[in-house]
Structure 1
Amino acid sequence: MNAKPPSDNDKNNTNGKTKNGSEKEAKPTSTPSVKKTDTSNKKNKPRRPIFKGNLTGRIALFISLFTLLLLVTGIGGGYWVWIQNQKSIKTQNQTINTLRQAIGDKASAQNLQQLEQKASQLNEHLQAQNKKLDALSQTFQHAKSLKQRDQQGWIIAETEYLMQIAQYRLNLLHDPKGAIKALTLADQQLAHLNQPRLLPVRKALIAEIQSLQDFHPPDKTTLLLELNEIMQHLVLQSPLVPGLANSTASSTAQHPIAPKTKASGFRGFIDAVWQSISQHINIQHYSHRITNLSAITTQANVLQSIYVNLENAKSAVLVDDNSVYHQSINKTEKLLKNQITSNPTKSGLLKTLDKLKAVNISPPSPALGKALSLLHKESTASDKGNARKPTS
């Protein structure tokens, strides 16, 4: 079973055979024996196994190392980018903070001024609201007092209202008669109450009525009519004598130009021009003397000044300006005395001016209000007394 391995001689014999199976003699070789021994040792030495996947493993190792290198490079690059982003963000934040501080410093003055204006507006609004609250409180208190009034309180309130109407009629409308009627009705209301504590009020009320009856304001309509009458009597005179100014047939003489024979040359041209002009000119001859035109002009200026002064006096009557009224009347009287000489109504006009000069167009009105203040005190005390009474 166990076969012996072939010897070296057998191998050499086998190698010495030809391809055709014939045996040939072995040729002697010139190779030293030592080299043969080495060759035989190499042939006898076992060969290393050759693996087919060695190249694939190297490629996989290279790819792994390259991937690891890329990963390390990517991590390093990402960290570097992150560091740069952090620095950029920090720089941007610092810039933003600087800009915010600069903008805040720049806008602080404007904002402060705007805030001050808003604060002042709010303060004014608050004051207005406080005033409204005070007015509402007073209105509430007044309504509360009105609710607690009895019949006597309502009569006193009506009397106060009548006294206020009297003041309105006298001070604003300049109607003393209407004021007398209102105060008379108020006195009748107080007489109807028949309260001894109201006697001082009635006494002051009667005194006010008497002062109104003694008050006689000027009649403005009469003053205006008299001023208009003076203006109508001051008429500008004509420069001609009245008889001469009205009659034109007796004083007008027309002289026609006799026709002449026509001349030739430049002389004929002059005559033709003169005739054409003479046809549009009427020559009148008066036997009376014409008044001096300079004197008429002076009189016209004086009358114009008088008209202006009288118009000022009329305006002063309408607005109750006593000083302007008397200044205008005095100027008119002075001009009429010194400048107007030929007016037949001069004396009558001066008398009318003296009468107007004595008129006070804005006399002081009687003082009203004492009776109203006394009655107001009485009504306030009565309301307080009613408020202290317990309500059932």
Structure 2
Amino acid sequence: MADSQDKLTPSDEAKLAALEKQLAIEKTASPSAKKEQAATANKRVEKPATKPAEILADQTSYKSSKSTTSSAPRKSTTGSKGKTGVLWFFTLVNLLVLVAIIGAGYWTWLQWQAQNQQQSDILAAQQASMSQQQKNIEQSIASNQLAKGDLEQQNQALQSSISSLVEQLQLTSAEVQTNQRNLADVSGRRPADWLLAEADYLVRMAGRKLWLEHDVKTAIMMLQSADSRLQDLDDSSLLPLRARLAEDLQTLQQLNQVSTSSIALALGAMLKQVDNLPLAFFKKPEDKTVDEAVTESIVDWRANLAHNWNEFTKNFFSVERVTTDIKPFMSEQQQWLSKEQLKFALMQAQVAVLQENSTLYQQSLQIAFGLLIESFDTEKDMVVQFTDSLSNLQLTDFERTYPEQFKVAPLLRDIIEQRLNSRFVNGNN
């Protein structure tokens, strides 16, 4: 019985091994307990032949020491684990709050960057449109200057031609005065020769009206008056002269009878109406004023917040529904420039019609039509009537082909010279 009680059963040995493993895992045990455990283990290994009573005593002391040593560390381990869990919980909460703050700041920064990029894009687009408008204005000014230079050259050419025609008129006047003096010398001898000289004068004046003033009707009337003077002479030898005169009258009557001065006067009247024509542009809407004012009362914090938000966002973007066709905006300088361009085109057409230059006349009217369609409101009645009048003037044909000279003029001059020479010869004889 004693031997059986002194010896350890396999179950007890297994329990001891489990306890030793648990003590090894738990590192919170004190160094004295570790030393006692090591000493106990050494005794158990080195002295297997110890008495059963000693083994039981050692076992009992081991259990008591184990119970005392294991109970204290367990309490400290449980307290430290509770504190560590709370610390980890607060650390995790702080970390999540920090991550949320960083995410909100990053999102706010992205929104700020997007707004700045949008504003910079809008400013770049506005600057590009303003630079394009400035280029267009500069190009139109340059084209106007070129057209002005061409018009000045044409005016110089016209003045030179007028000066040459004036010189020719002076020469013609000198010849007429010479003929008048010659006729005065033979006055009283053949009174009928005055009618012949008067017919020559009328033919010369008809030529001046035709080639200088392009007045076809007056030229025809003067040639008819010259024919009546020749008819009053009742001289059969002057029949070939009257036949040439009839051919000249037929040539003038077949010319275009449209008065270029009437067209020029009509264009001049339309020039005065340009300033009253409505332009095609929309007015910029006025800024809507907010009646609500910011108050210092705490009760009105919502209204103050809404007012401040509207004031903050009104310069960034604005949305407004448009139900009509959007027309291009025109500044005051562009309005003035559009009207001046139309006036310049009409003035150029007026000069062309006075010069009877049909090509330049049609080009100028085409430019005027383009300006009306591009810059003026074609839906207004005033613009429509102005366009119709311009169309009627464009369809008016005033092109003429004048004869180089009257066929009767050289023949009439030869007859007058022959009669004067015959009078001088008879006078000398």
Q: TM-score, normalised by structure 1?
A: 0.45
Q: Which has the higher contact order (CA 8 A, sep 6+)?
A: 1
Larger Rg, first or second structure (1 or 2):
1
Q: Which protein has the bigger helix share?
A: 2
